[in-house]
Protein backbone atom coordinates (compact mmCIF):
# COMPACT_ATOMS: atom_id res chain seq x y z
CA UNK A 1 0.00 0.00 0.00
CA UNK A 2 1.48 3.30 -1.02
CA UNK A 3 1.04 6.13 1.40
CA UNK A 4 1.26 9.42 -0.42
CA UNK A 5 -1.16 11.23 1.90
CA UNK A 6 1.68 12.64 3.95
CA UNK A 7 3.60 14.19 1.05
CA UNK A 8 3.61 17.94 1.04
CA UNK A 9 3.27 20.08 -2.06
CA UNK A 10 6.36 21.59 -3.61
CA UNK A 11 6.40 25.36 -3.43
CA UNK A 12 6.45 26.98 -6.85
CA UNK A 13 6.23 30.59 -5.82
CA UNK A 14 5.32 32.66 -2.83
CA UNK A 15 1.74 33.76 -2.41
CA UNK A 16 2.54 37.03 -4.02
CA UNK A 17 0.73 38.03 -7.17
CA UNK A 18 2.86 39.50 -9.92
CA UNK A 19 1.15 39.11 -13.29
CA UNK A 20 4.33 39.76 -15.28
CA UNK A 21 6.17 37.08 -13.37
CA UNK A 22 3.26 34.70 -13.85
CA UNK A 23 3.27 35.37 -17.60
CA UNK A 24 6.87 34.21 -17.75
CA UNK A 25 5.72 30.81 -16.52
CA UNK A 26 3.57 30.33 -19.65
CA UNK A 27 5.78 29.77 -22.72
CA UNK A 28 2.94 30.10 -25.23
CA UNK A 29 2.33 33.71 -24.16
CA UNK A 30 5.62 34.64 -25.86
CA UNK A 31 4.18 33.54 -29.19
CA UNK A 32 3.38 35.94 -32.03
CA UNK A 33 0.16 35.55 -33.99
CA UNK A 34 -0.01 37.34 -37.37
CA UNK A 35 3.14 39.15 -36.21
CA UNK A 36 1.31 40.54 -33.18
CA UNK A 37 1.71 39.63 -29.54
CA UNK A 38 -0.71 36.87 -28.65
CA UNK A 39 -3.56 38.18 -26.51
CA UNK A 40 -5.20 35.00 -25.31
CA UNK A 41 -8.74 35.67 -24.08
CA UNK A 42 -10.29 32.27 -24.78
CA UNK A 43 -9.68 30.84 -21.34
CA UNK A 44 -13.20 29.55 -20.81
CA UNK A 45 -12.57 27.21 -23.74
CA UNK A 46 -9.20 26.14 -22.40
CA UNK A 47 -6.42 27.72 -20.39
CA UNK A 48 -2.73 27.81 -21.27
CA UNK A 49 -0.28 25.62 -19.39
CA UNK A 50 2.60 26.79 -17.21
CA UNK A 51 6.06 25.31 -17.74
CA UNK A 52 5.71 23.63 -14.35
CA UNK A 53 2.85 21.48 -15.70
CA UNK A 54 4.55 20.83 -19.04
CA UNK A 55 7.73 19.77 -17.23
CA UNK A 56 5.85 17.38 -14.93
CA UNK A 57 4.31 15.64 -17.94
CA UNK A 58 7.71 15.49 -19.59
CA UNK A 59 9.24 14.14 -16.39
CA UNK A 60 6.63 11.40 -16.22
CA UNK A 61 7.41 10.16 -19.73
CA UNK A 62 11.17 10.53 -19.39
CA UNK A 63 11.63 9.06 -15.92
CA UNK A 64 8.70 6.91 -14.82
CA UNK A 65 6.51 5.82 -17.75
CA UNK A 66 4.89 2.49 -16.90
CA UNK A 67 1.46 1.17 -16.07
CA UNK A 68 0.10 1.83 -12.60
CA UNK A 69 -1.42 -0.21 -9.75
CA UNK A 70 -0.42 -3.64 -11.09
CA UNK A 71 3.35 -3.62 -11.29
CA UNK A 72 5.77 -4.55 -8.53
CA UNK A 73 8.74 -3.05 -10.35
CA UNK A 74 10.22 0.30 -9.44
CA UNK A 75 8.89 2.31 -12.37
CA UNK A 76 5.34 1.14 -11.80
CA UNK A 77 5.59 1.96 -8.11
CA UNK A 78 6.86 5.47 -8.86
CA UNK A 79 4.18 6.08 -11.49
CA UNK A 80 1.47 4.81 -9.13
CA UNK A 81 2.70 7.08 -6.39
CA UNK A 82 2.69 10.11 -8.70
CA UNK A 83 -0.80 9.28 -10.01
CA UNK A 84 -2.22 8.75 -6.52
CA UNK A 85 -0.51 11.88 -5.30
CA UNK A 86 -2.42 13.86 -7.95
CA UNK A 87 -5.64 12.43 -6.54
CA UNK A 88 -4.66 13.71 -3.09
CA UNK A 89 -3.83 17.14 -4.53
CA UNK A 90 -7.35 17.33 -5.99
CA UNK A 91 -8.86 16.08 -2.74
CA UNK A 92 -7.09 18.82 -0.80
CA UNK A 93 -7.87 21.48 -3.40
CA UNK A 94 -11.63 20.97 -3.23
CA UNK A 95 -11.53 19.96 0.45
CA UNK A 96 -13.01 16.48 -0.01
CA UNK A 97 -12.98 14.23 3.03
CA UNK A 98 -11.25 11.30 1.37
CA UNK A 99 -9.16 10.62 -1.71
CA UNK A 100 -11.46 7.71 -2.57
CA UNK A 101 -14.08 10.36 -3.44
CA UNK A 102 -12.00 11.62 -6.37
CA UNK A 103 -12.48 9.71 -9.62
CA UNK A 104 -10.32 10.57 -12.58
CA UNK A 105 -12.32 11.09 -15.77
CA UNK A 106 -11.59 12.57 -19.18
CA UNK A 107 -13.15 15.80 -17.99
CA UNK A 108 -16.42 17.41 -16.98
CA UNK A 109 -18.34 15.79 -19.82
CA UNK A 110 -17.31 12.27 -18.88
CA UNK A 111 -17.88 12.96 -15.17
CA UNK A 112 -21.48 14.07 -15.81
CA UNK A 113 -22.08 11.15 -18.15
CA UNK A 114 -20.74 8.82 -15.48
CA UNK A 115 -23.29 10.07 -12.96
CA UNK A 116 -26.16 10.13 -15.47
CA UNK A 117 -25.38 6.61 -16.65
CA UNK A 118 -24.53 4.98 -13.34
CA UNK A 119 -26.53 6.83 -10.67
CA UNK A 120 -29.22 7.81 -13.17
CA UNK A 121 -29.87 4.36 -14.62
CA UNK A 122 -30.01 2.86 -11.13
CA UNK A 123 -32.27 5.47 -9.54
CA UNK A 124 -34.38 7.31 -12.12
CA UNK A 125 -37.70 5.74 -13.00
CA UNK A 126 -40.62 6.47 -15.29
CA UNK A 127 -42.36 9.73 -14.36
CA UNK A 128 -39.42 11.06 -12.33
CA UNK A 129 -38.11 14.56 -12.92
CA UNK A 130 -34.59 15.92 -13.24
CA UNK A 131 -33.94 19.64 -12.89
CA UNK A 132 -31.27 21.55 -14.81
CA UNK A 133 -31.10 25.26 -15.69
CA UNK A 134 -31.52 27.31 -18.84
CA UNK A 135 -27.83 28.22 -18.86
CA UNK A 136 -26.35 24.72 -18.96
CA UNK A 137 -23.54 23.65 -21.24
CA UNK A 138 -24.62 20.87 -23.61
CA UNK A 139 -22.56 18.52 -21.41
CA UNK A 140 -25.06 19.08 -18.64
CA UNK A 141 -28.12 18.81 -20.87
CA UNK A 142 -27.64 15.91 -23.26
CA UNK A 143 -26.64 13.19 -20.73
CA UNK A 144 -29.82 13.94 -18.75
CA UNK A 145 -31.90 14.09 -21.91
CA UNK A 146 -30.59 10.66 -22.93
CA UNK A 147 -31.43 9.31 -19.49
CA UNK A 148 -34.91 10.84 -19.54
CA UNK A 149 -35.58 9.32 -22.97
CA UNK A 150 -34.47 5.89 -21.78
CA UNK A 151 -36.48 6.04 -18.55
CA UNK A 152 -39.45 8.05 -19.73
CA UNK A 153 -38.57 10.69 -17.17
CA UNK A 154 -38.90 14.46 -17.54
CA UNK A 155 -36.32 17.22 -17.75
CA UNK A 156 -37.40 20.44 -16.01
CA UNK A 157 -35.63 23.73 -16.64
CA UNK A 158 -34.94 26.55 -14.16
CA UNK A 159 -35.65 29.80 -16.03
CA UNK A 160 -33.30 32.77 -15.99
CA UNK A 161 -33.91 36.51 -15.99
CA UNK A 162 -32.64 39.03 -18.55
CA UNK A 163 -29.47 39.59 -16.53
CA UNK A 164 -28.65 35.91 -16.88
CA UNK A 165 -29.45 34.92 -13.28
CA UNK A 166 -31.39 31.87 -12.19
CA UNK A 167 -34.84 32.73 -10.87
CA UNK A 168 -34.73 31.04 -7.48
CA UNK A 169 -38.46 31.30 -6.84
CA UNK A 170 -39.11 29.44 -10.09
CA UNK A 171 -36.61 26.80 -9.04
CA UNK A 172 -38.49 26.29 -5.77
CA UNK A 173 -41.71 25.88 -7.74
CA UNK A 174 -40.15 23.19 -9.94
CA UNK A 175 -39.17 21.00 -7.01
CA UNK A 176 -41.84 18.45 -6.15
CA UNK A 177 -42.15 14.84 -5.04
CA UNK A 178 -41.21 13.66 -8.55
CA UNK A 179 -37.89 15.52 -8.50
CA UNK A 180 -35.13 12.93 -8.17
CA UNK A 181 -32.00 14.78 -9.25
CA UNK A 182 -30.70 18.32 -9.80
CA UNK A 183 -27.71 19.16 -11.96
CA UNK A 184 -26.64 22.79 -12.33
CA UNK A 185 -23.70 24.76 -13.55
CA UNK A 186 -21.78 26.60 -10.82
CA UNK A 187 -20.35 29.28 -13.14
CA UNK A 188 -21.82 29.78 -16.62
CA UNK A 189 -19.26 29.53 -19.41
CA UNK A 190 -21.34 31.80 -21.67
CA UNK A 191 -22.41 34.49 -19.19
CA UNK A 192 -20.00 34.22 -16.28
CA UNK A 193 -22.94 34.07 -13.86
CA UNK A 194 -22.04 32.55 -10.50
CA UNK A 195 -25.11 30.61 -9.47
CA UNK A 196 -26.35 30.45 -5.86
CA UNK A 197 -25.50 26.78 -5.69
CA UNK A 198 -25.29 26.58 -1.91
CA UNK A 199 -28.85 27.85 -1.67
CA UNK A 200 -29.96 25.36 -4.32
CA UNK A 201 -28.26 22.50 -2.50
CA UNK A 202 -29.75 23.51 0.88
CA UNK A 203 -33.19 23.65 -0.62
CA UNK A 204 -32.81 20.34 -2.50
CA UNK A 205 -31.50 18.55 0.58
CA UNK A 206 -34.67 19.41 2.52
CA UNK A 207 -36.30 16.95 0.13
CA UNK A 208 -33.33 14.53 -0.02
CA UNK A 209 -32.64 15.36 -3.65
CA UNK A 210 -28.99 14.96 -4.68
CA UNK A 211 -27.29 17.83 -6.51
CA UNK A 212 -24.48 17.68 -9.05
CA UNK A 213 -22.46 20.80 -9.75
CA UNK A 214 -20.87 21.36 -13.13
CA UNK A 215 -17.70 22.97 -11.83
CA UNK A 216 -15.91 23.31 -15.19
CA UNK A 217 -15.73 27.11 -14.85
CA UNK A 218 -15.78 27.22 -11.06
CA UNK A 219 -12.64 25.54 -9.76
CA UNK A 220 -10.43 27.97 -11.69
CA UNK A 221 -12.29 31.14 -10.68
CA UNK A 222 -13.58 30.44 -7.17
CA UNK A 223 -12.60 28.75 -3.94
CA UNK A 224 -14.57 25.52 -4.20
CA UNK A 225 -15.08 23.60 -0.97
CA UNK A 226 -17.23 20.51 -1.48
CA UNK A 227 -17.81 20.00 2.25
CA UNK A 228 -18.95 23.55 2.75
CA UNK A 229 -21.16 23.43 -0.35
CA UNK A 230 -22.40 19.98 0.65
CA UNK A 231 -22.83 19.09 -3.04
CA UNK A 232 -23.36 15.42 -3.80
CA UNK A 233 -21.26 15.45 -6.97
CA UNK A 234 -18.86 17.93 -8.54
CA UNK A 235 -17.47 17.60 -12.06
CA UNK A 236 -14.54 19.54 -13.52
CA UNK A 237 -11.93 19.49 -16.28
CA UNK A 238 -8.16 19.80 -15.91
CA UNK A 239 -7.65 21.89 -19.03
CA UNK A 240 -9.72 24.79 -17.68
CA UNK A 241 -7.44 25.08 -14.65
CA UNK A 242 -4.06 25.22 -16.40
CA UNK A 243 -3.78 21.43 -16.64
CA UNK A 244 -3.76 19.08 -19.63
CA UNK A 245 -6.69 18.18 -21.85
CA UNK A 246 -8.31 14.76 -21.58
CA UNK A 247 -8.22 14.63 -17.78
CA UNK A 248 -10.65 15.82 -15.13
CA UNK A 249 -12.38 14.57 -12.05
CA UNK A 250 -15.63 13.62 -10.49
CA UNK A 251 -16.10 14.17 -6.76
CA UNK A 252 -18.91 12.29 -5.11
CA UNK A 253 -20.24 11.51 -1.65
CA UNK A 254 -19.04 8.08 -0.55
CA UNK A 255 -22.47 6.66 0.22
CA UNK A 256 -23.69 7.58 -3.27
CA UNK A 257 -20.57 6.39 -5.10
CA UNK A 258 -20.52 3.15 -3.11
CA UNK A 259 -24.09 2.34 -4.04
CA UNK A 260 -23.62 3.15 -7.73
CA UNK A 261 -22.95 0.40 -10.28
CA UNK A 262 -19.75 0.66 -12.36
CA UNK A 263 -19.80 2.96 -15.36
CA UNK A 264 -17.41 0.98 -17.54
CA UNK A 265 -16.08 -2.56 -17.20
CA UNK A 266 -12.46 -3.54 -17.70
CA UNK A 267 -9.10 -3.80 -15.99
CA UNK A 268 -8.41 -2.18 -12.63
CA UNK A 269 -12.07 -1.75 -11.70
CA UNK A 270 -12.48 -5.36 -10.62
CA UNK A 271 -11.81 -7.28 -7.45
CA UNK A 272 -12.34 -10.79 -8.90
CA UNK A 273 -13.51 -11.98 -12.29
CA UNK A 274 -14.98 -15.35 -13.19
CA UNK A 275 -17.17 -16.09 -16.19
CA UNK A 276 -20.09 -16.44 -13.83
CA UNK A 277 -19.60 -13.31 -11.79
CA UNK A 278 -17.40 -10.31 -11.20
CA UNK A 279 -16.90 -8.39 -8.00
CA UNK A 280 -15.71 -4.82 -8.15
CA UNK A 281 -12.75 -2.94 -6.79
CA UNK A 282 -13.18 -0.43 -3.99
CA UNK A 283 -13.59 3.30 -4.57
CA UNK A 284 -12.35 5.12 -6.53
CA UNK A 285 -10.97 2.33 -8.74
CA UNK A 286 -14.45 0.89 -9.32
CA UNK A 287 -15.00 3.81 -11.70
CA UNK A 288 -11.58 3.86 -13.34
CA UNK A 289 -11.64 0.99 -15.83
CA UNK A 290 -8.61 0.53 -18.06
CA UNK A 291 -5.29 2.31 -18.19
CA UNK A 292 -5.99 5.94 -17.31
CA UNK A 293 -4.33 9.10 -18.56
CA UNK A 294 -1.48 8.79 -16.07
CA UNK A 295 0.53 11.70 -17.43
CA UNK A 296 -2.64 13.79 -17.59
CA UNK A 297 -3.47 13.11 -13.94
CA UNK A 298 0.08 14.03 -12.91
CA UNK A 299 -0.20 17.18 -15.04
CA UNK A 300 -3.49 18.08 -13.37
CA UNK A 301 -1.95 17.55 -9.94
CA UNK A 302 0.87 19.88 -10.97
CA UNK A 303 -1.62 22.49 -12.23
CA UNK A 304 -3.44 22.41 -8.91
CA UNK A 305 -0.15 22.75 -7.09
CA UNK A 306 0.72 25.74 -9.28
CA UNK A 307 -2.66 27.41 -8.71
CA UNK A 308 -2.51 26.72 -4.97
CA UNK A 309 0.89 28.31 -4.74
CA UNK A 310 -0.20 31.42 -6.62
CA UNK A 311 -3.24 31.44 -4.31
CA UNK A 312 -6.81 31.13 -5.58
CA UNK A 313 -7.74 34.27 -3.62
CA UNK A 314 -5.09 36.23 -5.53
CA UNK A 315 -6.38 34.85 -8.81
CA UNK A 316 -9.97 35.79 -7.93
CA UNK A 317 -8.91 39.33 -7.03
CA UNK A 318 -6.95 39.76 -10.25
CA UNK A 319 -9.67 38.32 -12.48
CA UNK A 320 -12.34 40.42 -10.78
CA UNK A 321 -10.36 43.57 -11.54
CA UNK A 322 -10.00 42.45 -15.18
CA UNK A 323 -13.73 41.82 -15.42
CA UNK A 324 -14.56 45.22 -13.94
CA UNK A 325 -12.09 47.00 -16.19
CA UNK A 326 -13.18 45.22 -19.37
CA UNK A 327 -16.88 45.69 -18.59
CA UNK A 328 -16.32 49.42 -18.19
CA UNK A 329 -14.21 49.68 -21.36
CA UNK A 330 -16.57 47.78 -23.66
CA UNK A 331 -19.65 49.47 -22.22
CA UNK A 332 -18.41 52.70 -23.81
CA UNK A 333 -18.43 51.15 -27.30
CA UNK A 334 -21.55 52.29 -29.19
CA UNK A 335 -23.77 49.44 -30.35
CA UNK A 336 -22.19 46.90 -28.01
CA UNK A 337 -24.45 44.95 -25.69
CA UNK A 338 -23.16 42.77 -22.89
CA UNK A 339 -24.98 39.46 -22.59
CA UNK A 340 -25.01 38.41 -18.97
CA UNK A 341 -25.10 41.11 -16.37
CA UNK A 342 -25.45 39.07 -13.20
CA UNK A 343 -24.61 40.61 -9.84
CA UNK A 344 -22.34 37.64 -9.10
CA UNK A 345 -20.03 37.10 -12.04
CA UNK A 346 -16.69 35.45 -12.78
CA UNK A 347 -14.19 36.30 -15.54
CA UNK A 348 -16.36 35.99 -18.64
CA UNK A 349 -17.44 38.87 -20.87
CA UNK A 350 -19.97 37.94 -23.55
CA UNK A 351 -21.29 40.56 -25.93
CA UNK A 352 -22.93 41.27 -29.26
CA UNK A 353 -22.21 44.16 -31.60
CA UNK A 354 -25.02 45.70 -33.60
CA UNK A 355 -25.04 44.48 -37.22
CA UNK A 356 -21.74 42.61 -36.98
CA UNK A 357 -21.72 38.83 -36.76
CA UNK A 358 -19.59 37.44 -33.92
CA UNK A 359 -17.59 35.31 -36.38
CA UNK A 360 -16.53 38.45 -38.25
CA UNK A 361 -15.52 40.04 -34.95
CA UNK A 362 -13.49 36.97 -34.02
CA UNK A 363 -11.79 36.85 -37.40
CA UNK A 364 -10.79 40.52 -37.41
CA UNK A 365 -9.59 40.34 -33.80
CA UNK A 366 -7.45 37.34 -34.73
CA UNK A 367 -5.52 39.57 -37.15
CA UNK A 368 -4.70 41.73 -34.12
CA UNK A 369 -3.39 38.66 -32.29
CA UNK A 370 -6.46 38.54 -30.06
CA UNK A 371 -8.01 35.13 -29.44
CA UNK A 372 -11.61 35.25 -28.31
CA UNK A 373 -14.40 32.72 -28.80
CA UNK A 374 -17.41 33.34 -30.98
CA UNK A 375 -20.43 31.12 -31.34
CA UNK A 376 -23.02 29.50 -29.11
CA UNK A 377 -20.42 28.22 -26.61
CA UNK A 378 -22.20 24.84 -26.42
CA UNK A 379 -25.19 26.57 -24.82
CA UNK A 380 -27.71 26.73 -27.65
CA UNK A 381 -30.81 26.89 -25.41
CA UNK A 382 -29.23 29.88 -23.65
CA UNK A 383 -28.71 31.64 -27.00
CA UNK A 384 -32.36 30.94 -27.81
CA UNK A 385 -33.34 32.48 -24.47
CA UNK A 386 -31.60 35.73 -25.47
CA UNK A 387 -32.84 35.43 -29.04
CA UNK A 388 -29.36 35.58 -30.53
CA UNK A 389 -27.46 33.03 -32.63
CA UNK A 390 -24.12 33.62 -30.96
CA UNK A 391 -21.99 35.94 -28.83
CA UNK A 392 -18.40 37.07 -28.80
CA UNK A 393 -16.78 36.01 -25.56
CA UNK A 394 -13.61 37.21 -23.90
CA UNK A 395 -12.71 35.12 -20.88
CA UNK A 396 -9.94 35.81 -18.44
CA UNK A 397 -7.23 33.91 -16.64
CA UNK A 398 -4.60 34.77 -14.05
CA UNK A 399 -2.06 35.77 -16.74
CA UNK A 400 -4.22 38.36 -18.52
CA UNK A 401 -3.59 42.09 -18.14
CA UNK A 402 -5.44 45.37 -18.50
CA UNK A 403 -3.12 46.19 -21.44
CA UNK A 404 -4.46 43.11 -23.20
CA UNK A 405 -8.00 44.33 -22.63
CA UNK A 406 -7.00 47.62 -24.24
CA UNK A 407 -5.81 45.66 -27.29
CA UNK A 408 -9.19 43.90 -27.36
CA UNK A 409 -11.10 47.18 -27.10
CA UNK A 410 -9.01 48.84 -29.83
CA UNK A 411 -9.56 45.76 -32.00
CA UNK A 412 -13.30 46.07 -31.48
CA UNK A 413 -13.23 49.74 -32.45
CA UNK A 414 -11.29 48.85 -35.63
CA UNK A 415 -13.82 46.14 -36.40
CA UNK A 416 -16.66 48.63 -36.13
CA UNK A 417 -14.81 50.98 -38.52
CA UNK A 418 -14.26 48.19 -41.05
CA UNK A 419 -17.93 47.29 -41.01
CA UNK A 420 -18.97 50.91 -41.16
N1 LIG B 1 -19.52 22.68 -18.56
C2 LIG B 1 -19.06 23.92 -18.71
C3 LIG B 1 -19.69 25.04 -17.92
C4 LIG B 1 -18.02 24.17 -19.58
O5 LIG B 1 -17.55 25.41 -19.72
C6 LIG B 1 -17.45 23.10 -20.31
C7 LIG B 1 -16.35 23.34 -21.31
N8 LIG B 1 -16.57 24.43 -22.15
C9 LIG B 1 -17.96 21.81 -20.09
C10 LIG B 1 -18.99 21.65 -19.21
C11 LIG B 1 -17.39 20.64 -20.79
O12 LIG B 1 -16.06 20.44 -20.41
P13 LIG B 1 -15.14 19.37 -21.15
O14 LIG B 1 -15.30 19.62 -22.62
O15 LIG B 1 -13.76 19.69 -20.66
O16 LIG B 1 -15.61 18.03 -20.74
Contact 136, 213 (CB under 8 A): no
- Residue 142: which CATH number? 3.40.640.10
pLDDT at 15: 56
Residues above pLDDT 90, as percent of the chain:
95
pLDDT of residue 337 exceeding 70:
yes
Same domain flag for 302 and 315: no
Q: Which atom belonging to ligand 1 lies closest to the Cα atom of 245?
A: 15
Nearest to 312 by CA among 242, 250, 405: 242
Kindly name the residue from 336, 378, 383, 388 that is annotated as catalytic. Answer: 378
Provide the domain count of the chain. 2
Nearest CA to ligand 1 atom 6: 216
Q: What CATH number did the domain enclosing 397 receive? A: 3.90.1150.10
The answer to the question of residue 32 being in a domain is no
Q: Is position 331 within any domain? A: yes
Out of 293, 308, 323, a domain closes at 308
Backbone angles phi, psi at 187, to 5 degrees: -125, 125
Interval 236-269: pLDDT, tens? 999 999 999 999 999 999 999 999 999 999 999 9
Residues 43 and 370: their CA atoms lie apart, in Å, by 12
**Ligand 1, atom nearest to 377 Cα:** 8
CA of 74 relative to ligand 1 center, distance in Å: 37
**Does residue 217 sit in the same domain as residue 180?**
yes
C-beta separation of 105 from 317 below 8 A: no
pLDDT in tens, 108-142: 999 999 999 999 999 999 999 999 999 999 999 99
> Both 242 and 161 in a single domain?
yes
Mean pLDDT over all residues of the chain?
95
Using the mean position of ligand 1's atoms as its centre, give its distance from the Cα of residue 37 in Å: 27
Distances in whole angstroms, Cα of residue 391 to Cα of each of 254, 274, 347, 359: 40, 54, 15, 9
Q: Is there a single domain that holds both residue 381 and residue 413?
A: yes
Is the per-residue pLDDT at 407 higher than 70? yes
Q: What is the CA radius of gyration of the chain?
A: 22
Cα dist. 145→117, 129, 150, 186, 301 in Å? 11, 11, 9, 20, 32
Q: Is 389 exposed, middle or buried (0-12, 13-18, 19+ CB in 10 A)?
A: middle
Residue list, ligand 1 pocket, CB within 6 Å: 44, 107-109, 137, 139-140, 185, 189, 214, 216-217, 237, 378
Rounded CA separation 90/155 (Å): 31
**Window from 45-49, 69-73, 222-226 with minimum mean pLDDT:** 69-73
Predicted pLDDT at 16 = 76
CA 49, CA 300: separation in Å to the nearest integer?
10
Identify whether 13 is part of a domain.
no
Task: List, for residues 38-56, the tens digit of each pLDDT value.
Answer: 999 999 999 999 999 999 9
Q: Quick check: is 231 catalytic?
A: no
Question: In angstroms, what is the span from residue 206 Cα to ligand 1's centroid?
Answer: 29
Centroid of ligand 1 to alpha carbon of 176 (angstroms) = 29
Most ligand 1 atoms within 8 A of CB, residue of 217, 245, 379 to mutate: 217
Flag whether 337 is in a domain: yes
- To test the ligand 1 pocket, which listed residue (43, 46, 107) has its Cβ within 8 A of the most ligand atoms? 107
Domain housing 142: 56-308
Distance from residue 72's CA to the centre of ligand 1 (Å): 37
Give pLDDT, residue 395: 98
- Single residue among 308, 341, 374 that ends a domain in this structure: 308
- Taking the alpha carbons at both ends of the chain, their separation in whole angstroms is 68
Residue 12 lies in a domain: no
- 68 and 210 share a domain? yes
Amino acid sequence: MINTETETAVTVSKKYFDVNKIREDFPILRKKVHNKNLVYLDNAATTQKPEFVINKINEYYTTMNSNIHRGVHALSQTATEAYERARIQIKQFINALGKNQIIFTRGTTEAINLVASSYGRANIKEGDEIIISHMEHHSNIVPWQLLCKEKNAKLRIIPINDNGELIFKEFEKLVNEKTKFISVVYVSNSLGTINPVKRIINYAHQFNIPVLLDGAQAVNHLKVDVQDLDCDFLAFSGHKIYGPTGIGALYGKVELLDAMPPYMGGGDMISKVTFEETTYNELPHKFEAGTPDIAGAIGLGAAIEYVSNIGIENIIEHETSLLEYSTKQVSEIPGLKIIGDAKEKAGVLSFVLENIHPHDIGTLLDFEGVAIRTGHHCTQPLMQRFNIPATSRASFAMYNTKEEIDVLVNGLKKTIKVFG
